[in-house]
Each structure stands twice: as structure tokens, then as C-alpha cells.
Amino acid sequence: MSTNRFHTPVLVIGSGIAGCTAALTLADLGAEVTLISTGTRLDTGNSPLAQGGIVFKAVDGDPRLLEHDIMVAGHHINYRRAVRQISVKGPQAVQGILVDRLGIPFARSGKPQCEWDLTMEGGHAAHRIMHCADYTGRAIMDGLIAAIEEAPNVRVLSGRTAVDLLTTHHQARSNEFRYQINNQCVGAYVLNEHTRSVETMLADVTVLATGGVGQVYLHTTNSPNAIGSGVSMAQRAGVRIENAEFVQFHPTALFHRSQRRFLISEALRGEGGRLVNGAGEAFMHNYDRRGDLAPRDIVARAIVEEMLRTGEDCVYLDASQVEQDLEQRFPTIYQHCQDMGIDIRVEPIPVVPAAHYFCGGILTDLTGRTTLDRLYAVGECACTGVHGANRLASTSLLEALLWGRTAGEDIARRLHRQRPMSKRLHAAIPDWQPLGDERNDDPALVAQDWATIRHTMWNYVGITRSTGRLRRAFEDLRDLSRHLHDFYKRTTLSKPLVDLFHGCHTAYTITQAALRNRQSLGCHYRID
């Protein structure tokens, strides 16, 4: 057997909170898992960037109140059963995995009524968010990665970029499988970034946990790998994608000339920070009665309108009235701004909106199963129906954690019940056929194509959308996608090319969904 080809019971693609939780759950239940991730480290996704926190439960602990807040933020197009699942079982997962199993050092209150220092963010009617100062995601990922590294039955392979899913309908070279009505996922083709060869990873079950899509926009808070590769691969394999038009823009990213915009957490407004314009006037109450704690889509549009009204490049977040010690409560933000020459204790922080969170994604059920047999999706790349048209702050880490665990448990049960893939099916899946041998990953070409994608998405498929803008984006991205498809056929694969192909496909998918949906709702806002 070639060294580029192997079989694993479970292949998990992506090592953020969702992928690591799924892998750890499976390992704890005795399953063998292969966890792959693009780049050299496991913590390259959005998870370690999360600042604000993770939803737990308010002191009175009634899950119906959380359910209500999630439904209101999602404009009631959420899937009620998924919302109930996260409201009831989410806090149990935080307690079981993060507190009891991993011992994540969440901030404590020092008060008898509640062990934890619970904070609040926009759209929440109660204090129910647990945090580790403002580096919650980093603390969770440190705990998860340490546990993964200790788990003997998790094989970790970094420097691996998934290229395409393997399915019986698309790849099997045998009539026995091609004529079966039921299409099945049997693993993935994966680019080994060290050897530049494509590996055939056959799996009884495959889990997509590839994270968000923010990098297809010009301004984003997301990590460089957030290009929607899972969505792009799933769509090519014929899997149902849902709610792709709902991209949430975070209202407050630091206004600065770097590519990735540094997030200024909503928790700062939760603790008393106020948005002001260049003249120092607080303006949020002119746009919404909830003022600075209105849901994100409303705050983001209010900022854009205020910028248009005043002709300024940004607005400001004034944290001088926050009662807590800013250096202690928000050390990451404090230090980052300090490095940029801004003392947030006395100076307002210049902020603009930026693409932040993908509310849609690969459609899954309550256990993470997708519409393709043997394929699961968890975390930000999945659409469980929890978020509907918009996400309530700090519910995404929770959704990734809960569905990571639930999918892991469901897969473990399935592995016990079902027979593994047959040898005949293994044999029917061919290795990757290099399509062409032209070496053509000229950085200038790749950079220009990315610039086209990002400007098109920001200007035409951004915070405010119209039919004219969306049609133009649709045509431009369709042409680029066709061009890349032809180009792909002539060229030796490389990571920059695979990423570009995934990114273009994701942008096209979002645009198509936005064009189809004529109704303004949540973070999909049409001006016509």
C-alpha cells in the first residue's frame, strides 16, 4: 500500500474547539481518531481568538430565558429544538468538559451566590457568560490541546489541508458503489503541506470542523484559515448548505491598517463602554432603544450610518466609564491597544465593523449528521439552526462544544453498531490523479484573485446589500470560479491554490444565497 494512503475509523478535519471536542469525546469512548489541521500548529483557527466568553447559566438558571434571547437574536427563524438543546444541555457540557474534565481556569466571583464571575453582552437579558479575563478561547484551547496530546488513540497530523471529500458517487471506480442510491462519504483527499503530495485518507466516518468564512471579506476579525473550506468541500459533494446569506459583522474591530482586524469585545460595552462619534457624542440611542447593548447587526448598521452621516472613517468606543480595572479585566485588549499607542483608560478606541461569524453552514441535525451519510459537521462550519438569522453573543463556543461532544457520542455508538467500510470499497477509491503539471502558484496571481474576492464580498455582499450589487458579485465570482476551475486542472496542487479555490467557492455560495433571499432579516440586510 502506498504511504500516501491510509484508513482511519474517524477522520476529524479541523482542530478548533469543535474538532478537538469531537476527537476527545471519541477518544474517551475508546475510538481511534485521526485529527488533521492545516498549518503547523493546532491552534490556528478562530477558537483561540475568542475573548468575551462562553454562555453558561444565569443565577436563576432557567433555560427558557436563554432560549428566548437566542430566538430573539435569530429573528425567530432558528430551529426551536436546536435552541432548546443548547439552552438545556449547553451548560451541562461546560460543567462536564471545561470545568470538571479540563479544569479551565474561569474567573471566579468570590461571592456566595455564584461561584463564577458571570458577565453580560449585547442581546442577553441576564449575566450568564463565563470568561477567563478576555482570553477565554485561548484558555479553553490550551486545555483541549493538552488533553488531545495526552490521548493515546488520537493521531494528530498538522500541516494537512483537506482538498475534497471522497464519496462513493464521485470517486468509487466500481459499478457496485456507483449505482447505489445512497451516497456515502468515505474520507478526504488531503494535501500534505510538507511533501506537497495528496494523501488518500479513507475513513468510516468523517467530521468537518473547519470553522468560519471571515477571510473571504476585506475586513475581518477571523484567523487566516477561516475561508470556509468545509462549506466549499461539502457543497461540491452535494451536501445541503443552509442560511449561507447570514454573515454576522462584529460592530467593533480596532480601526488600524493591518489585514486582520483586532476584535474589541462586546463585553466592554456590557461593562459600561459607550460608542461615540468623532465629536464625542453617544449615538446608539438614536438608532435603537437598547442603545449600546442592541444586537450586533443593529449596532453594526448604526455605526455604518453614523460614519456616513459624519463622513468619518470610524467611530470610537469610550471605555473610560467602565468601573472595573481595565488592565485586569481586559488584559489582551488593553495590551494590544497600548502597543498601538492607545491608552484605553483615558482615550477612546477607534473602531469599525468587520466580518466576524458565519451563522449558516453545512446543515446538520441535533447530533451533527449532515445530508451525506457518514459525514458530520460541527462548530462554525455547521448550521444546526441555533442561530437563525443572527447569533447571540458567546453562543458559538458553546454550540461548537456541545455539538462536538454530541457528534462524538453519536459516532462512537455508530462505530459499535455498524461494520467498518468494506475492503472492496477501499479498493474502489483511487488515489488523487494529478490533473496537470504546470507549476503556477505565482504569488502575484494568487494575491490578485484574493483581492478580487475580498473587495467584491465587502462592497457587494457586505453589511448592506441590494439586487444590483449582489448580481454584480454573482457574475464576477462565477467568472473567477470558472477560471480557477480550468486553472486548477493544469496545475500542480499547492496550499495557496487549494485555499484560493475553497475561498472563491465559499464566496460564490454566500452570494448565491444572498441573491435568492429578498427579505431583510437579522444580518442579511437588503436596501431594495
Ligand X SMILES: Cc1cc2nc3c(=O)[nH]c(=O)nc-3n(C[C@H](O)[C@H](O)[C@H](O)COP(=O)(O)OP(=O)(O)OC[C@H]3O[C@@H](n4cnc5c(N)ncnc54)[C@H](O)[C@@H]3O)c2cc1C
- Which of residues 36, 83, 186, 428 is near ligand X by CB under 6 A? 36
Query: Between residues 38 and 512, which has the closer beta carbon with respect to ligand X?
Result: 38
Q: Helix axis angle, 17-28 relative to 396-417, nearest 10°?
A: 30
Residue 39 near residue 226, CB atoms below 8 Å: no
Q: In what order do the strands lie in the sheet with 241-242?
A: 241-242, 361-363, 382-383
- Going through 323-402 in order, the beta strands assigned E by DSSP cover 349-358, 361-363, 375-377, 382-383
SS3 for 220?
A: strand
Write the CA distances from 207 to 13, 242, 375, 376, 448, integer angstroms: 6, 18, 6, 5, 32
- Which of residues 229, 235, 367, 506 is near ligand X by CB under 6 A? 229
- Which of residues 44, 183, 184, 390 is near ligand X by CB under 6 A? 44
Q: Quick check: 206 binds ligand X (CB under 6 A)?
A: no
d(CA 49, CA 340): 18
- Which of residues 45, 143, 187, 522 is near ligand X by CB under 6 A? 45
- Which of residues 38, 367, 506, 509 is near ligand X by CB under 6 A? 38
Backbone region of residue 62 per phi and psi (left: phi > 0; alpha: psi in -120 to 50; beta: other values): beta
Please list the residues that pair with 438 across neighbouring strands.
491
Shortest Å distance, C-beta 16 to ligand X: 2
Q: Which residue has the cell 449615538?
A: 283
Query: Between residues 266 and 476, which has the closer beta carbon with respect to ligand X?
Result: 266
Q: Quick check: 397 binds ligand X (CB under 6 A)?
A: yes
Retrieve residue 413's grid coordinates. Answer: 455508538
Q: Quick check: 200 binds ligand X (CB under 6 A)?
A: no
Shortest Å distance, C-beta 41 to ligand X: 9
d(CA 501, CA 481): 8
- Which of residues 18, 145, 185, 303 is near ligand X by CB under 6 A? 18
Q: Which residue has the cell 480550468?
A: 486
**Catalytic member of 160, 261, 296, 469:** 296
- DSSP letter assigned to residue 33: E
Cβ atoms within 10 Å, residue 477: 26
Shortest Å distance, C-beta 502 to ligand X: 6
Is 296 one of the catalytic residues?
yes
Q: Quick check: 353 binds ligand X (CB under 6 A)?
A: no
User: Among the candidate windows 12-20, 452-460, 504-512, 520-528, which touches ligand X by CB under 6 A?
Assistant: 12-20
Site for ligand X in 416-445 (CB under 6 A): none
Query: Between residues 200 and 396, which has the closer beta carbon with respect to ligand X?
Result: 396
Query: Between residues 234 and 366, which has the closer beta carbon with respect to ligand X?
Result: 234
Q: Quick check: 303 binds ligand X (CB under 6 A)?
A: no
Shortest Å distance, C-beta 50 to ligand X: 3
User: Among the candidate windows 10-18, 328-336, 409-417, 418-426, which touches ligand X by CB under 6 A?
Assistant: 10-18
Q: Quick check: 91 binds ligand X (CB under 6 A)?
A: no
Site for ligand X in 154-183 (CB under 6 A): 160-162
Residue 512 near residue 461, CB atoms below 8 Å: no
Q: Quick check: 367 binds ligand X (CB under 6 A)?
A: no
Question: Shortest CA distance to 368 belongs to which of 413, 420, 409?
Answer: 409
- DSSP letter assigned to residue 422: P
Amino acid at 466: S
Site for ligand X in 115-154 (CB under 6 A): 136-137
Q: Which residue has the cell 457520542?
A: 409
User: Among the candidate windows 23-31, 52-60, 147-155, 293-301, which touches ligand X by CB under 6 A?
Assistant: 52-60
Residue 515 near residue 499, CB atoms below 8 Å: no
Contacts of 140 (CB under 8 A, 6+ apart): 17, 47, 50, 54, 98, 102, 104, 132, 397
x-marked contacts with ligand X along 244-273 as a string, rule CB under 6 A = -------------------x----------
Query: Between residues 35 and 294, which has the closer beta carbon with respect to ligand X?
Result: 35
Q: Quick check: 74 binds ligand X (CB under 6 A)?
A: no
Q: Quick check: 235 binds ligand X (CB under 6 A)?
A: no
- Which of residues 171, 200, 225, 252 is near ligand X by CB under 6 A? 225
- Which of residues 10, 12, 17, 66 is near ligand X by CB under 6 A? 17
What length is written for the chain? 528
Q: Quick check: 34 binds ligand X (CB under 6 A)?
A: no
- DSSP letter assigned to residue 329: H
SS3 for 482?
A: helix
- Which of residues 11, 12, 13, 94 is near ligand X by CB under 6 A? 13
Q: Quick check: 199 binds ligand X (CB under 6 A)?
A: no
x-marked contacts with ligand X along 376-395 as a string, rule CB under 6 A = ---xx-------------xx
Q: Helix axis angle, 396-417 relative to 136-150, nearest 10°?
A: 20
- Which of residues 15, 183, 364, 384 is near ligand X by CB under 6 A? 15
Q: Which residue has the cell 462584529?
A: 250
Residue 328 near residue 117, CB atoms below 8 Å: no
User: Among the candidate windows 32-40, 288-296, 460-468, 514-522, which touches ligand X by CB under 6 A?
Assistant: 32-40
Applying CB under 6 A, what is the total number of residues that bind ligand X? Answer: 44
Residue 89 near residue 405, CB atoms below 8 Å: no
- Which of residues 8, 10, 53, 389 is near ligand X by CB under 6 A? 53
Shortest Å distance, C-beta 515 to ligand X: 25
Residue 279 near residue 326, CB atoms below 8 Å: no
Cβ atoms within 10 Å, residue 445: 14
User: Which residues of this chain interact with ligand X, rule CB under 6 A?
Assistant: 13-19, 36-39, 44-47, 49-54, 136-137, 160-162, 209-212, 221-222, 225-226, 229, 263, 357, 379-380, 394-397, 400
Q: Which residues are designated catalytic?
A: 296
